[in-house]
Amino acid sequence: QVQLHESGGGSVEAGESLRLSCEFSSSRYCMAWFRQAPGKEREGVAAISGAGGSTYYADSVKGRFTVSRYVVKNQMDLQMNGLLPEDTAMYYCAAEGPRGMGWVPGMFNYWGQGTQVTVSS
């Protein structure tokens, strides 16, 4: 059983930054950040491999978001710069994905409760 806890969400204005953190009890494989806006499907935002050597970003966040994984601290962060109103969503941390890389919700076995990010124009 993997326990996950997200933090760092909040309300900001367009162009500002936020840093989300996900503390986890253990995870060997791919981890990822997903987001879900009201009325929309959950989408993969960024993913990072077990050792942190490979990353994936959705086209909508490339160049603005950076995912990092700290093995010693059991923590995964998402640095979000240049936030846009369309980034507004509940953000979820997911763990124990595939051995390689994945960004589809069904690939992950454990989920956090989510942290809300709201960006105003």
- Judged against a pLDDT cut of 90, whether residue 33 lies above it is answered with yes
Nearest to 77 by CA among 16, 14, 18: 18
pLDDT (tens digit per residue) in 53-98: 899 999 999 999 999 999 889 999 999 999 999 999 999 999 988 8
* DSSP string for the chain: ---EEEE--EEEETT--EEEEEEES---S-EEEEEE-TTS--EEEEEE-TTS--EEE-TTTTTTEEEEEETTTTEEEEEE-S--GGG-EEEEEEES--SS---SGGG-SEE---EEEEEE-
Model pLDDT, residue 52: 79
With beta carbons less than 8 A apart as the criterion, state whether 19 and 118 touch.
no
Residue 75: both structure tokens together: 């923590």
